[in-house]
Structure 1
């Protein structure tokens, strides 16, 4: 990997982190505005601990370990700091698995926004998608079947990854809907 590639990757990751942080701050500000002082302190303390240590610390380690079980838990941790060709090959093997699962999650998230979320952007197609919102479930089901069918030709673990990405979307969407429902009550 050349220096230009490394610089572009670092810039891309920094940009992604900044955009994600701003989006997260906006959402947190909205959530915090509806809470009591005690709940705000709890949310900030545990939210920051969870975001920093679990999501950005333990989760990547767990993913590397789960997709490269031959490394073991300690090997997955030290793999991040290693130049061993075997470890690099093992991690590169897991890249498509991680990318497919995350990609399915993000495609479903986009389609959910397109079909289900109420938007006021003034686009001509916006009303069409909102009127046909129930098609979201049919569209994502067909997409998932297609992805799994193609993935099975290459690697059954890829198919599992697609299903895990889909499951992660529906689990988080279900929690979001439940929280909205309890907030209205």
Structure 2
């Protein structure tokens, strides 16, 4: 339980603040949003854990502190304000006043209505980012396969140069031309998602490579007599690059929940308390738990299940440009896929022991 003490404390504090802010109704809504965020974010925690296990203990603390502030204030509070500001041509202060005024989400001009109206752009951006994340995993060489046939097919496609970017661009062109009502905005937003993914991933790889080489050389100089050295945990520029990459992935996972929360309440304070302080803190604690317990190495198919859940989430996000898809479908499908990969991993371990 030591990994979740902080999350429990923050959740209790958030519920108390919600009660002071809006009474029992606000407390219940914040609790519902927190549970929704946790249920939708198991795949997020698994992917985050795989990246975080390469970073030093100091940077893991940064992920829990600075990263938490980015998740709460950035994605659950400032990001919706920014979207409303751009969509309604308002300055951030006016957007904040509009948010605090609440109003009926079905009425034009209200905060929730404007944000829902901008959903196709957000879905195109987040969907393309997550799609490239999932395809990069399946197109890369994998020692083991969970779903043998489809993963082997994807691996063969991945042998083609720049397969991830090419497949993502083709899908984006099809969506913007045949599915989206406002093809230009969807195309533009999707391209931003692709460019940002490539830029952040490239920056992370450059910094990680530079930092790893420097630290390995230093390690070898200090221990020439040793036959082998332990795995190097990244620090400095290398860890900072991975931290940026990690935050972008975390932000992309937040789009669906941040927009879907307005179906429950348009109040940005309750959304920040529920999604941010309760949901995001539990997801971060779960990430640290997975890293320190080595769960991903013990359950070999869990990472595959998480990336299949990400691929489905990306497809559902892109389809939501034209079709309304309830968040419960995304959460249930993701949970079923990850649950199946967990069961498959346990059977594999039992078979291996025999």
Q: Equivalent residue for 1:125?
A: 150
Is 1:63 aligned to residue 77 of structure 2? no
Q: 1:14-93 to 2 correspondence within 5 Å? A: 14-20=35-41, 23-24=44-45, 27=48, 31=52, 34-35=55-56, 37=58, 39-69=59-89, 71-81=90-100, 82-83=102-103, 85-88=107-110, 89-93=113-117
Size of the aligned set, in residue pairs, is 175
Q: Would the alpha carbon gap of residues 178 and 159 (structure 1) be closer, same or farther in structure 2, given more than 3 Å must change? A: same
- Displacement of 1:143 in angstroms is 1.7
**Structure 1 alignment gaps of length 5 or more:** 1-6
Q: Among residues 123, 137, 141, which one is paired with 1:113 in the alignment?
A: 137
Q: Deviations along 1:31-78, whole A, 9 cap, x unmatched? A: 3674155x5544543222222222333222212222222x33123223
Q: Mean Cα displacement is larger for which, 127-136 or 160-169?
A: 127-136
Larger-gyration structure (1/2): 2
**Structure 2 alignment gaps of length 5 or more:** 1-27, 214-354
Q: Would the alpha carbon gap of residues 13 and 114 (structure 1) be closer, same or farther in structure 2, given more than 3 Å must change? A: farther
Q: Equivalent residue for 1:173?
A: 201
Q: How far, CA to CA, are the matches of 2:168 and 2:47 in structure 1? A: 28
- Displacement of 1:19 in angstroms is 4.3
* 3-state SS, counterpart of residue 86 of structure 1: coil
Q: Equivalent residue for 2:14?
A: none
Is 1:103 aligned to residue 127 of structure 2? yes
TM-score of the superposition, structure 1-length normalised?
A: 0.69
What value does the CA root-mean-square deviation take over the aligned residues?
Answer: 3.6
Q: Equivalent residue for 1:3?
A: none
Q: How far, CA to CA, are the matches of 1:110 and 1:41 in structure 2? A: 26
